[in-house]
């Protein structure tokens, strides 16, 4: 801890996705500090393509209402595709594990579709957060490079929150209703919505925040080339890549 922020190592481990917030708004100075940190993120050719809308107060309430309405009406309008059925093998297993962990923490039975939908709809209430940041950018080419830039910005934003004892959660689900968000915030069509980040003070007493998700060990996703002793001197050189059907591991 230095001053009123955590060290990098503390912040990176303290960060987690917060799914219940206290209603108390942050001060403008607190939000500004996070934005000052986030804008230091690297980007392809230093293009800094991020175009961020911070939404609070009555506009936040209106946006939430419109998103809940659009979800109920099935008015999907994402700028990018997102289909969890496209995950395969070990990735699908990680995804299922994440949903199962949440359902267990909330006491939701796998068969209870309505309870699962209600839990998912909390996304559109920003999990009770007083603020949401909507991350827009222009798209160049197939958009992958800009997506990387937005990811860099978002993680810097999230780590800045964590370092200051605050919480946030990135939400692709909000990006699935891009036209609704653009309409409410008066954003031109050529800015595409990657995702939103709800943020504020974590409600530490909520069971929505009672669990943490693990990660696969580094050596399961890192292959060492001529870097002896990186993990274990007995590690075989270049272990074979997992086939799409290999679901072992990756679900800790
Ligand atoms: C780009 C991105 C989009 C995400 N979208 C959502 C979302 O729409 N709703 C949600 O509840 N969680 C969302 N998450 C949170 C992930 O589920 C979470 O990061 C992951 O399960 C790991 O948990 P942790 O962040 O607590 O470490 C998203 C995460 C990322 C990085």
pLDDT given for residue 29 in this prediction: 98
Q: Is 251 in the pocket of ligand 1 (CB under 6 A)?
A: no
Residues 6+ apart with CB under 8 A from 139: 79, 146, 192
- On the question of pLDDT at 250 being above 50, the answer is no
Cα-trace Rg, the chain: 19
Which of 80, 169, 175 to mutate to test ligand 1, by most ligand atoms within 8 A of the CB atom? 169
Q: Is 159 in the pocket of ligand 1 (CB under 6 A)?
A: no
pLDDT band at 4 (very low <50, low <70, confident <90, very high): confident
Q: What is the pLDDT of residues 104-132, one digit of tens each?
A: 999 999 899 999 999 999 999 999 999 99
Pick the CATH number of 8-213 from 1.10.3720.10, 3.40.630.30, 3.40.50.170, 3.40.109.10: 3.40.109.10
Average pLDDT rounded to a whole number, residues 224-239: 73
- On the question of pLDDT at 201 being above 70, the answer is yes
Specify which residues 132 forms β-bridges with.
55, 198
CA atoms within 13 A on the CB side of 44: 12
Locate 18 and state its tokens.
């917060």
Q: What is the pLDDT of residues 36-81, one digit of tens each?
A: 999 999 999 999 999 999 999 999 999 999 999 999 999 999 999 9
- On the question of pLDDT at 246 being above 60, the answer is no
Q: Is 17 in the pocket of ligand 1 (CB under 6 A)?
A: yes
Average pLDDT rounded to a whole number, residues 2-16: 91
Q: What is the pLDDT of residues 235-245, one digit of tens each?
A: 555 544 443 34
Q: What is the pLDDT of residues 130-173, one digit of tens each?
A: 999 999 999 999 999 999 999 999 999 999 999 999 999 999 99
Q: Is 195 in the pocket of ligand 1 (CB under 6 A)?
A: yes
Q: Is 51 in the pocket of ligand 1 (CB under 6 A)?
A: no
- On the question of pLDDT at 22 being above 50, the answer is yes
pLDDT given for residue 234 in this prediction: 54
Q: Is 162 in the pocket of ligand 1 (CB under 6 A)?
A: no
Average pLDDT rounded to a whole number, residues 200-208: 98
Q: Whose CA is nearest to atom 12 of ligand 1?
A: 171
- On the question of pLDDT at 191 being above 90, the answer is yes
Question: What residue spans define the domains of the chain?
Answer: 8-213
Give one word for 37, left, alpha or beta, with left for phi > 0 and alpha for psi -120 to 50.
alpha
Q: Whose CA is nearest to atom 27 of ligand 1?
A: 16
Q: Whose CA is nearest to atom 5 of ligand 1?
A: 171
Atom nearest to 127 CA in ligand 1:
11
Greater pLDDT, 189 or 233: 189
Which of 105, 148, 171, 252 to mutate to test ligand 1, by most ligand atoms within 8 A of the CB atom? 171
Q: How far is the CA of 169 from the centre of ligand 1 (A)?
A: 6
pLDDT given for residue 36 in this prediction: 98
Q: Whose CA is nearest to atom 21 of ligand 1?
A: 98
Average pLDDT rounded to a whole number, residues 28-39: 98
Inter-residue contact 7 to 14 (CB < 8 Å): no
- On the question of pLDDT at 249 being above 60, the answer is no
pLDDT given for residue 2 in this prediction: 56
pLDDT given for residue 63 in this prediction: 99
pLDDT given for residue 243 in this prediction: 38
Q: Whose CA is nearest to atom 2 of ligand 1?
A: 170
């Amino acid at each position: 801890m230095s001053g009123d922020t955590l060290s990098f190592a503390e912040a990176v481990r303290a960060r987690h996705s917060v799914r219940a917030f206290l209603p108390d708004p942050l001060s403008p100075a607190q939000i500004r500090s996070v934005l000052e940190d986030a804008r230091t993120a690297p980007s392809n050719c230093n293009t800094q393509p991020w175009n961020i809308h911070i939404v609070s107060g009555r506009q936040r309430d209106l946006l939430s209402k419109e998103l809940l309405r659009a979800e109920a009406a099935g008015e999907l309008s994402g700028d990018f595709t997102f289909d969890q059925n496209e995950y395969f093998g070990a990735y699908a297993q990680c995804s299922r594990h994440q949903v199962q962990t949440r359902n267990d923490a909330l006491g939701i039975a796998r068969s209870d579709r309505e309870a699962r939908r209600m839990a998912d709809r909390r996304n559109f209430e920003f999990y009770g957060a007083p603020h949401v940041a909507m991350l827009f950018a222009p798209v160049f080419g197939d958009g992958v490079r800009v997506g990387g830039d937005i990811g860099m910005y978002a993680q810097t934003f999230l780590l800045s929150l964590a370092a200051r004892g605050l919480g946030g959660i990135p939400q692709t689900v909000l990006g699935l209703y891009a036209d609704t968000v653009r309409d409410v915030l008066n954003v031109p069509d050529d800015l595409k919505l990657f995702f939103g980040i709800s943020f504020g003070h974590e409600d530490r007493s909520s069971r929505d925040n009672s669990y943490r998700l693990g990660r696969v060990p580094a050596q399961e996703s890192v292959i060492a080339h001529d870097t002896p002793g990186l993990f274990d001197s007995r590690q075989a050189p270049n272990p074979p890549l997992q086939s799409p059907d290999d679901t072992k591991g990756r679900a800790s």
